[in-house]
Amino acid sequence: MSDPSLLVVPLGGLGEFGMNMLAFRSGDDIVVVDAGLMFPESELLGVDVVLPDIAYLKQNREHVRGILLTHGHEDHLGALPYLISDLDVPIYGTRFTLALLRKKLQESGHLETAVLRDMQPGTAFPLGAFEIEPIQVTHSTLDCVALAIRTPVGVILHTGDFKMDPTPIDNHPFDLHAFARYGQEGVLALFSDSTNAERAGYTPSERAVRPLMESLVRGAPRRVIVSCFATSIHRIQVVVDVAHSLGRKVGFVGRSMVDNVEIAHGLEKLHIPDGMVVRQQDLRGFDPTKLVVLASGSQAEAMSSLSRMAVDNHRHVSIEENDTVILSARIIPGNERAISRMIDHLFRRRALVYYEAAASGGTGPVHVSGHASQEELKLLVNLVRPKYFVPIHGEYRQLFRHAALAHQVGTVSGEILLLEDGQTLELSKTGAVRREPVTAGRVCVDSGSLEEIEEIVIRDRKHLSEDGIVVPIIAIDKHSGRTEGLPEVVSRGFLSTDDGQAVLDGAREVVRRTIDGSNAEEKMDWSVIKEKIRVDLKRYLNKQTSKRPLILPVILEV
- The pairing of strands 189-193 and 388-392 is parallel
Write down the least CB distance from residue 51 to its own copies, Å: 16
The residues in 108-127 that bind its own copies, with binding defined as CB under 8 A, are none
| DSSP-assigned letters across all residues of 402-457 | HHHHHHHH---SS-B----TT-EEEEETTEEEEE------EEEEETTTTEEE-HHH
Determine contact, residues 292/323, Cβ cutoff 8 Å.
no
Counting contacts by CB under 8 A, is residue 526 touching its own copies? Answer: no
Q: How many CB atoms lie within 10 A of CB 7?
A: 17
Counting contacts by CB under 8 A, is residue 545 touching its own copies? Answer: yes
Task: For residues 409 and 233, give the distance between their C-alpha atoms in angstroms, rounded to a whole number.
Answer: 34
Of 109-117, 234-242, 266-274, 393-401: span binding its own copies (CB under 8 A): 393-401
How far is Cα of residue 244 from the mean position of the Cα atoms in its chain? 33
Radius of gyration of the chain (CA): 28
Cβ closer to its own copies: 46 or 437? 46
Write down the least CB distance from residue 347 to its own copies, Å: 4
Q: Which amino acid makes up residue 461? A: R
Which one of residues 69, 216, 453, 537 is an interface residue with its own copies (CB under 8 A)?
A: 453
Question: Residue 346 class from Cβ within 10 Å (0-12 exposed, 13-18 middle, 19+ buried)?
Answer: buried
Cα dihedral 257, 259, 263, 265 sign: positive
The residues in 413-432 that bind its own copies, with binding defined as CB under 8 A, are none
Determine contact, residues 98/142, Cβ cutoff 8 Å.
no
Q: Residue 342: name the closest of 329, 106, 278 by CA.
A: 329
Cβ closer to its own copies: 45 or 427? 45
Write down the least CB distance from residue 351 to its own copies, Å: 10
Counting contacts by CB under 8 A, is residue 480 touching its own copies? Answer: no
Q: For the window 356-385, what string marks contact with its own copies as x by the rule CB under 8 A?
A: -xx-x-------------------------
Which one of residues 4, 152, 468, 506 is an interface residue with its own copies (CB under 8 A)?
A: 468
Residues 6+ apart with CB under 8 A from 26: 4, 5, 6, 7, 128, 129, 130, 151, 152, 153
Counting contacts by CB under 8 A, is residue 344 touching its own copies? Answer: yes
Which one of residues 118, 320, 454, 505 is an interface residue with its own copies (CB under 8 A)?
A: 454
- If you count DSSP H runs as helices and E runs as strands, how many of each does the chain have, helices first? 16, 28
The residues in 178-217 that bind its own copies, with binding defined as CB under 8 A, are 198-200
Task: For residues 319 and 317, give the distance between their C-alpha atoms in angstroms, rounded to a whole number.
Answer: 7
Write down the least CB distance from residue 353 to its own copies, Å: 7
| DSSP-assigned letters across all residues of 423-436 | -EEEEETTEEEEE-
Counting contacts by CB under 8 A, is residue 396 touching its own copies? Answer: yes
Q: Residue 293: name the closest of 272, 273, 316, 315 by CA.
A: 316
Total residues binding its own copies (CB under 8 A): 69
Of 110-118, 380-388, 425-433, 473-481: span binding its own copies (CB under 8 A): 473-481
Task: For residues 342 and 350, give the distance between their C-alpha atoms in angstroms, rounded to a whole number.
Answer: 13
Of 77-85, 299-307, 422-430, 448-456: span binding its own copies (CB under 8 A): 448-456
Of 98-106, 147-155, 409-417, 453-461: span binding its own copies (CB under 8 A): 453-461
Of 147-155, 216-224, 329-337, 425-433: span binding its own copies (CB under 8 A): 329-337
The residues in 47-86 that bind its own copies, with binding defined as CB under 8 A, are none
Of 86-94, 237-245, 248-256, 463-471: span binding its own copies (CB under 8 A): 463-471
Write down the least CB distance from residue 518 to its own copies, Å: 19
Write down the least CB distance from residue 509 to its own copies, Å: 17
Cβ closer to its own copies: 240 or 359? 359
The CB-side HSE value for 548 (13 A sphere, CA atoms) comes to 4
Which residues sit at the interface with its own copies, rule CB under 8 A?
15, 41-42, 45-46, 198-200, 333-334, 336-337, 340, 343-344, 347-348, 353, 357-358, 360, 395-397, 400-401, 446, 448-449, 451, 453-454, 456-458, 460-469, 471, 473, 475, 477-478, 484-485, 488, 490, 492-496, 499, 545-547, 550, 552, 554, 556-558
